[in-house]
Amino acid sequence: MKINLLFFLLLISHFILGQSHYASQQFGARSSFLGGAVIASVEDNSALFYNPAAIGFLTQSTLTINANMYQLDYINLSNGAGNGIDLNSIRPIIYPQLVSGIISFDKKPRLKMCYGLLTRFRTDIKSFAKHEGYYDLIPGSNGNDFFSGFVNYEINNMSQWAGLGLAYQCNDYFSIGITQWVQYAHLDERNATQTSIDANFPTNFYTTKVAESALSVVDAFGLGWKLGVLYRKGALQIGLNGELPGLPLFGFARMERTLEYFNQDRFLPNNSFLGRNANLTLSEQVKNLKAVYKFPASIGLGISYALKKINAKISFSAVYYFKINPYDIAHYDSLTPIRPVGSYANVFAKDFVVKEDFHSDVFNLSLAWEQKINDRLSLYFSIRTDQNSSLDEFNNQPYRAKSLNITFWNMLHFSSGLKWSRGSSDFFIGFNYGWGITNIKRQPFNLTEPRIYIYQDQANNQFLSFQGNRNLDMQAEVHSLGLILGYNYYIRR
């Protein structure tokens, strides 16, 4: 007999968190200060990402070693692990935004090439919570059972893109361009949860436990293309870009997962599947699995208008990212035996270490102001939205039986900075502040109201948990503060 046994735990992610926010990272110092509202007004090598057509209008060869981001992310989920138990993460992050250069062709001055390396996304979250106390949990005990539980969640994701852009300036007003990307994504997710109860009987003491741990490390490569057109005449500039869906090439994954039940037969009916035996263990470790990671298609529109009387420019951009349906990042087809095999002969778990990804469509806006003070000094201000592409999945699964997405908020970013020019160099310094906004109040975990919870689905699979109901008591507080430093060097020819 083979049983497809799928365990119910609100604790461990069946989905791996890829990149839920597409606009968190910007590229190039000036473009970062302007919040990415540069589809129509990009003036430097960051055109490689925002609008490759703008490469055709660049008049000087430049080496951009710019926009290193020094960032501090603060996340606090008040009551996230139970009443009075917060989940929080404070992480410093340092990464290079963009390193790039321009190549011009003397015999074809309307044709230009740009190359560069950028950090497409960077996520670092570490959160831990623990709770202990005395509760009346085990039937027939003295009502003073000791409960202990903890949750640990870590995610460290990074993606870098290497690009080569080519643009042709058709005339004084119009240019077209394309960027070819080589895309690399590294996803590292580690989870651990454990809840245990010390049964308090007058003459019989024992500990029952539910524990699970999981590790997923994915390295995936792919190709991408961005197309762009740009029109500019007088004070008006209009740009349009389009990102084609990423084409996965190859990847490798390492996945580990362990689930353990101990002494559940002491309090569960012996005629139930879980109550028949004292222990249950599922464990799987696999390496070199085939893996893929998908980046979304997008389309963007930008408009910029120069206010020449006051030496200022106002810019606006809107970008729509298309939906990515659920897909397997990595999949292990073999059945995982339930141990001890003598007690669970011919009983297996299917898809025990499968990892999936998903993204809904999102729409982001950015608005920016550029003020030229004099020939050497310019100031920049912007505001932009950063919608969460995984938020619909969180709302559609209120009990999160299959996934844990800890970033369930939208972001609002405020950026500002200045440029100081001297000789062949531009120096940039500025900041970005991000504020997380969400109406979701359901707790990811509840360790402060533990109970013995047995659930049976329509396929008669039995699940066990020692957690309480996930109440609507959570308050999320999310802040991100980054220092942006940049440098452009104009190569004299």
Cα distances (angstroms) measured from residue 459 to each of 3, 5, 6, 7, 276:
10, 9, 10, 12, 19
pLDDT for position 7: 35
Residue 259 lies in a domain: yes
pLDDT for position 358: 83
CATH of the domain at 378: 2.40.160.60
Backbone dihedral region of 288: left (phi > 0), alpha (psi from -120 to 50 degrees) or beta? left
Place of tokens 């999160």: 400
Token duo for residue 158: 């990074």
* Helical H segments across 43-89, by residue range: 47-50
Cα distances (angstroms) measured from residue 47 to each of 157, 170, 242, 439, 490:
25, 17, 13, 36, 16
Question: Strand, helix or coil at 403?
Answer: coil
pLDDT for position 493: 56
Residue 445 lies in a domain: yes
pLDDT for position 234: 93
Q: Which of 333, 339, 148 is nearest to 258 (CA)?
A: 339
pLDDT for position 396: 46
Token duo for residue 260: 């353990």
Residue 22 lies in a domain: no
Count of CA atoms in the C-beta half-sphere (13 A) of 428: 29
pLDDT for position 272: 74
3-state helix, strand, coil in the chain (%, to 5): 5, 60, 35
Instruction: With beta carbons less than 8 A apart as the criterion, state whether 18 and 360 touch.
Output: no
Distance between alpha carbon 205 and the CA centroid of its chain, in Å?
Answer: 45
- Which residues does 89 contact at the CB level (< 8 Å), separation at least 6? 73, 74, 75, 125, 126, 127
Residue 168 lies in a domain: yes
Question: Strand, helix or coil at 391?
Answer: helix
Residue 4 lies in a domain: no
Residue 2 lies in a domain: no
Residue 176 lies in a domain: yes
Mean pLDDT in the chain? 86
In this predicted model, what pLDDT tens digit does every residue of 394-414 receive, in sequence order? 544 433 333 444 567 899 999
Q: Which of 117, 35, 50 is nearest to 430 (CA)?
A: 35
Instruction: With beta carbons less than 8 A apart as the criterion, state whether 444 and 88 touch.
Output: no
pLDDT tens series, the chain, 493 aa? 333 333 333 233 344 444 788 998 899 889 999 999 999 999 888 999 999 999 999 876 655 555 567 888 999 989 999 999 999 999 888 878 888 888 888 888 899 999 999 999 988 889 999 999 999 999 888 878 999 999 998 989 999 999 999 999 999 999 999 999 999 999 998 889 999 999 988 777 889 999 989 999 999 999 999 999 999 999 999 999 999 999 999 999 999 999 899 998 888 887 777 778 888 898 999 999 999 999 999 999 999 999 999 999 999 999 999 999 988 888 887 888 888 888 887 888 777 787 788 888 999 999 999 999 999 999 999 999 999 887 655 544 433 333 444 567 899 999 999 999 998 888 999 999 999 988 888 888 899 999 988 766 554 556 688 988 888 888 888 999 999 988 887 776 5
Q: How far apart are CA 243 and CA 21, in angstroms?
A: 16
Cα distances (angstroms) measured from residue 332 to each of 255, 287, 356:
9, 10, 12
Residue 250 lies in a domain: yes
Residue-number span of the structural domain to which 377 is assigned: 29-490
Token duo for residue 380: 């920049």
pLDDT for position 4: 35
Bridge partner residues of 339 (DSSP): 281
Query: How many domains are there within the chain?
Result: 1
